[in-house]
């Protein structure tokens, strides 16, 4: 599958948004080990941002072992299955924590939160 990127928005630093988009796509299985990302220049053109900003994002992904870069060729997803599973767990935890906080601020107990979740599951 080909990686797809959305234009950065809001206040979060652009390079972090790119890092997170890659992590999300990995976790969702829309991006898999061995698959290439767009080149720095290419993605910068697509998102209408500076190549250095993409470089910063890719560098972080490399440092996390998610991305691997050979000389003069596109960077390639190098995350292990275990690493991807961990990213998925981490994102699921974040989403759950956010919902839990919201639900509890509304005065729901766990049973009620689960019930609403069930209603909205699909």
Residues at the contact surface with DNA, assessed by CB under 7 A: 8, 13-16, 39-42, 49-53, 55-56, 58-59, 62, 69, 71-75
Measure the CA–CA gap between 118 and 122, rounded to whole angstroms. Answer: 8
Taking the complex as a whole, the smallest distance from the CB of residue 22 to a copy of itself amounts, in Å, to: 14
- Helix, strand or coil, per DSSP, at residue 72: coil
Does 121 sit near a copy of itself (CB under 8 A)? Answer: yes
For residues 59 and 78, which CB has a smaller minimum distance to a copy of itself in the complex?
A: 59
For residues 11 and 119, which CB has a smaller minimum distance to DNA in the complex?
A: 11
Residue pointed to by tokens 């809001």: 10
| DSSP notation for 14-27 | HHHHHHHHHHHHHH
- Here's the x/- map for a copy of itself, 57-76, by CB under 8 A: it reads as ------x-------------
- The radius of gyration of the chain's CA atoms, rounded to the nearest angstrom, is 17
Site for a copy of itself in 7-36 (CB under 8 A): 9-11, 24, 27-29
Measure the CA–CA gap between 104 and 34, rounded to whole angstroms. Answer: 42
């Amino acid at each position: 599958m080909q990686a797809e990127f959305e234009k950065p928005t809001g206040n979060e630093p652009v390079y972090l948004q790119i890092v997170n988009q890659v992590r999300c796509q990995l976790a969702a299985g829309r991006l898999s080990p061995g698959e290439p990302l767009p080149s720095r220049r290419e993605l910068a053109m697509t998102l209408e941002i500076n190549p250095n900003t993409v470089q910063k994002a890719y560098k972080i992904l490399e440092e996390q072992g998610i991305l691997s870069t050979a000389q003069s060729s596109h960077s390639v997803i190098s995350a292990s299955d275990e690493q991807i599973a961990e990213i998925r767990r981490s994102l699921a935890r974040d989403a759950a924590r956010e919902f839990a906080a919201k639900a509890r601020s509304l005065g729901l107990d766990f049973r009620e939160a689960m019930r609403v979740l069930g209603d909205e599951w699909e």
